[in-house]
Structure 1
Amino acid sequence: MLISRRPDPADAPLSNIQIDSRTLPLQGAISILGLEFNSSLTFTSHIKRLAKNAAWKLDCIRRIANLLDDRGIEILYKAQARSLMEYSPLTWSSCPPSYLRLLDQVQNRAERLIQLKSQHPRTALQPLQTRRNVGGLCVMYKIHKQQSLHLAPLRLHPTHVPAYDTRESHIMEHQVTVPFARTDQYLRSFLPHFSRLWNCMVRLTDIPQSTTLHQFKLHINQWLQNQEI
């Protein structure tokens, strides 16, 4: 596969690769460990396939909904459909929001199915984007607070602390430098997106001072829920 930002990558010169006297054909997309990468790294085809598979699984749940109550449908949805839409989300979450809404539509259908079986009003399922934000911030916590060695290549430089005291000087040591992004696609990728979200959290809360990852996850869930309200 040739990865290129050209409008027509096929016009780029590319030498033939041969194995056992057989020429390998040029692919427009390849699948690695369940993730589909295309030549422009947009992940749009991967999201379409995810939404299609999740919708198919939800349809299977709908066919047996008469045998289940609302709690049973919710458990099946979370185990079979939502888990599929949450496989390695920090890799493909940089795709356009219009494609991420395809996944939200599947969850909206699941919520309607659960409500039809419920005898009482139920709280809505946690939005998928919120769950992705929680996962990304937990990774940032592992990188910058727990100093996880296997995540060291993702570590960002701390923000420069001024030589004199300011109103925010006591929190700037916990902030990170946001990578510069020239394109919207890179701006939505892991490091630029979650470094900005991390800095926002540091300015508004003392959540990064949590002593354990479990405490951090509980606090960040509550903070993001309040932000939505």
Structure 2
Amino acid sequence: MNDLLMTADQGSPSLLLLLDLSAAFDTVNHTILLNRLQSEIGLSGTALKWFHSYLTNRTEYVSLGQSKSSTHTVTCGVPQGSVLGPTLFTIYMLPLGHIINKHKVSFHCYADDTQLYMKMDSTSPTVLPSSLQLCLEEIKAWMTANSLQLNSNKTDVILLGTPHQTQSSNLSSISIFGLNIPFSTTVTNLGVRIDSNLTFNSHIRHLSKVSFLHLKNIARLRPSLSQPDAERLIHAFISSRLDYCNALLFGTSGKNLQKLQHIQNCAARVLMRRRKYDHITSVLNSLHWLPIKHRIHYKLCLLTYQCIHGAAPAYLSELLSLHATSRRLRSSTSFYCLHQPKTKLATMGDRAFQAVAPRLWNALPESLRAPQGVEAFKKGLKTHLFKQAF
């Protein structure tokens, strides 16, 4: 998301392509996977033999009551529901990353979800980059050779940028592996709904709808629930949704923040059995719940801490850099501060992680920015944000 926001901030739209594979985990070729474990990972000897034993000669059958189907030998695929399943599939997909990198197309992979994105030429946003077409052709050949097939029904493409940038293009579809995929105005990527102008309006509308459906059911059960059980339900069905990928929501509209805050307020009322018009600030305070805006700040500051201390993925850490200060001055306010890049648009670049993270981090007290353990940092950060909120 950082790259998409920064590209739009620099004046160009981006093309995002979400590839989905049909029954990907079930079609993995065992021979190819074992060769990949040897060539890409460097396994040999006993370890490689163990994986050979793990993958081959597996059987399956269906059991219903006292009835049982005949046994079927599994000749391909990785065991789903296992700890090793996603890891083995990721290893199986490693050459795909080499292909995409060769064509200088940006990408991220998570299990069988692959997302490709490219900056469009701002002077001719109606023309698809030739490098993308060549990349897709090579991906098709690789998938065919590796027993994988694209699921056209779940493959999406979307043009992302400011309203002016997206409206200046008349692209309506893209040809992928001989299939015509129409451009979407909203796509879902790992549970997050992304609209063409990166407002997250659709995501928050959907989040509100689902959250209030669950809240309604919990409210019906509340008289029969103990306080700890009710709190567990609220966290499982409401708080987890509010916190999921909430770092992306920095800079979203005030209206969207109000919608999210309304969900949290209602959840607090259900949990504490308060009436609709009871004042909510004291309730949130007693529950030690940070308001939505501060929960977003908390997540971003924690991610920033992880980047600085080498606990975050490289694609995030490389976006940030510390100020180069040779010595500490008593009057200096830049101690442990991050470099702040220049951006142009409040709706785009100002919301990108590489711009937001330094802004929030540099505003923290020096005692929080100083090196310390993660638990101490989290405790101090929450205390600091609570003082701001209440």
Q: Same fold by TM-score, threshold 0.5 exceeded?
A: yes
**2:361 aligns to what?**
198
**1:216 aligns to what?**
377
Higher Rg of the two aligned structures = 2
**1:176 aligns to what?**
338
Give aligned pairs, total.
223
Residues 113-171 of structure 1 deviation map (CA, whole Å, 9 limit, x = unaligned): 23327xxx961433222222222111111111336453555432323548894611xx5
Q: Distance in 1 between matches of 2:291 and 2:354?
A: 21
Q: Relative to structure 1, is the Cα distance of residues 148 and 189 closer, same or farther in structure 2, using a 3 angstrom cutoff?
A: closer
**1:111 aligns to what?**
268
Q: Relative to structure 1, is the Cα distance of residues 149 and 107 closer, same or farther in structure 2, using a 3 angstrom cutoff?
A: closer
SS of residue in 1 equivalent to 2:271: helix
Q: Relative to structure 1, is the Cα distance of residues 213 and 23 closer, same or farther in structure 2, using a 3 angstrom cutoff?
A: same
Q: Distance in 2 between matches of 1:212 and 1:8?
A: 44
Q: What is the deviation of 1:222?
A: 1.1
Q: Distance in 2 between matches of 1:155 and 1:21?
A: 37
Q: Relative to structure 1, is the Cα distance of residues 215 and 62 closer, same or farther in structure 2, using a 3 angstrom cutoff?
A: same
Q: Relative to structure 1, is the Cα distance of residues 221 and 77 closer, same or farther in structure 2, using a 3 angstrom cutoff?
A: same
**2:305 aligns to what?**
141
* 2:255 is equivalent to residue 94 of structure 1: no
**1:9 aligns to what?**
166
Instruction: Give the structure with the higher percent helix.
Output: 1
SS of residue in 2 equivalent to 1:221: helix
| Structure 1 residue ranges (4+ consecutive) displaced by more than 3 angstroms after TM superposition | 6-11, 19-22, 146-149, 151-155, 160-166
Unaligned 5+ residue runs, structure 2? 1-157, 275-281
Q: Distance in 1 between matches of 2:228 and 2:352?
A: 35
Q: Distance in 1 between matches of 2:375 and 2:334?
A: 24
Which moved further from structure 2: 79-88 or 126-135?
A: 126-135
SS of residue in 2 equivalent to 1:184: coil
Q: What is the deviation of 1:172?
A: 2.0
Q: Relative to structure 1, is the Cα distance of residues 151 and 209 closer, same or farther in structure 2, using a 3 angstrom cutoff?
A: farther
Q: Relative to structure 1, is the Cα distance of residues 72 and 9 closer, same or farther in structure 2, using a 3 angstrom cutoff?
A: same
Q: Relative to structure 1, is the Cα distance of residues 209 and 4 closer, same or farther in structure 2, using a 3 angstrom cutoff?
A: closer
Q: Distance in 1 between matches of 2:369 and 2:360?
A: 12
* 2:321 is equivalent to residue 157 of structure 1: yes
> TM-score with structure 2 length normalisation?
0.51
Q: Distance in 2 between matches of 1:93 and 1:71?
A: 31
1:77 paired residue among 218, 227, 234: 234
Which letter maps to 2:336?
H
Q: Relative to structure 1, is the Cα distance of residues 112 and 180 closer, same or farther in structure 2, using a 3 angstrom cutoff?
A: same
Q: What is the deviation of 1:93?
A: 3.0
Q: What is the deviation of 1:28?
A: 0.8
Q: Distance in 1 between matches of 2:168 and 2:315?
A: 37
Q: What is the deviation of 1:220?
A: 0.8
Q: Distance in 2 between matches of 1:138 and 1:8?
A: 33
> TM-score with structure 1 length normalisation?
0.83
Q: Distance in 2 between matches of 1:209 and 1:61?
A: 42
Give the conservation status (yes or no) of the 8 Å contact 1:160–1:172: no
Q: Relative to structure 1, is the Cα distance of residues 167 and 52 closer, same or farther in structure 2, using a 3 angstrom cutoff?
A: same
Q: What RMSD in Å do the two structures reach over aligned CA positions?
A: 2.8
SS of residue in 2 equivalent to 1:167: coil
Q: What is the deviation of 1:181?
A: 2.3
Q: What is the deviation of 1:20?
A: 5.9
* 2:211 is equivalent to residue 48 of structure 1: no
Give the conservation status (yes or no) of the 8 Å contact 2:368–2:380: yes
**2:389 aligns to what?**
228
Instruction: Give the structure with the higher percent strand.
Output: 2
Q: Distance in 1 between matches of 2:169 and 2:179?
A: 21
Give the conservation status (yes or no) of the 8 Å contact 1:54–1:82: no
